[in-house]
Structure 1
Amino acid sequence: MGLFDSVVGAVTGQVQQQGGMTNVLGRLLADNGEMGGLGGLAEKFKQGGMGEQINSWIGNGENLPISAEQISQILGSDTVRNIASQLGIDPDQAAQQLSAMLPGLIDKLTPNGQAPAGGLGNPGDLSRMLGGILGR
C-alpha cells in the first residue's frame, strides 16, 4: 500500500464516520459545481499562484504537494468553512483533508494527463466515481 492509499484510507475512515466527503468533492469538482468544474478549479489555482501544483496533478508525473493553508487561500475561507460545516469538522481539518486528498484524486480523475473532453460530469455522477476511487 502506497502513501497516498494510506492517507486516503485514514481520511476516508474519518470522513465516513462524519459522512459526505465524496459528495463535497463531487460538488467541488463537478462541471456544474460551485468552482466551475476541474477547469474552473484549475483557473482558481493558477490565479492564486498555484498553477504548477494543479498542473502536476492533472499532468503525468509526480504530484506536487499543497498545504492546508494554501488550499484555504485558493478556495477561500468561506468555501472551506462551508465544506467543514457539511462534514461536521473544523475548517482547519477540512483544509488538511483536502490538501491530502485533492492531488491524488485529481491525478486519478485525469489518467491521460488532461481533463476528460466531456468534463468530469455532474455532482451525482462524480460522487459515484469518487466513491469508487475512494473504495466506498
Structure 2
Amino acid sequence: MDVDQDTPLFAIAAAAELAELHPQTLRQYDRLGLVEPTRTAGKSRRYSLRDIAQLREIARLSAEGVSLEGIRRVLSLENEARALQQRVRELESALADALLQQPGRRVFASGANGEVLSMRAGARAERRNQMVVWRPWSSSSEDR
C-alpha cells in the first residue's frame, strides 16, 4: 500500500488528537468546508496527514484572531498557489520535452564509458579526468 500525504488514514478521534483539537471542532470545520476529509463507505471521516497539517494551520490562524471566513480565504489562496506551482512544473517539463523533440535541438555527447548522452541545447558535458597544463610565454628561445 502506498502511503503519502493525501492517504486517508486517521479516524476523527485520532485526527483530533494529532491536531490537538476537539473532535467536534473537526466536524464543524468539515461542515464549514475548511477541511474536507475523505469518507468511507459507511460515511465515516478519514483524515490524511495533509488534512491534519491543515487543521493545525486553521488552529494557528484562529489563535491569532483570524475569523473563520478569513481562514477559508487564506486556505483557498494557499491551495490555489500550490495548484499553480504544480501546473508550472508540468508546463516546464512539457516545454523541455517539446524542445528536445524539435529537429536540430538535440545535442549529444559521449559519456566516460563511450555511451551516448542526450543533452539540452546549450549545456556542456561534464568532464571528469581532464588536465590542463599552462606554461607562460618566456622571452628566451629555449622555451619555445
**Scaled by the length of structure 2, what TM-score is found?**
0.27
Query: Rg: which structure is higher?
Result: 2
**Greater share of helix:** 1
**Greater share of strand:** 2
Q: Which has the higher contact order (CA 8 A, sep 6+)?
A: 1
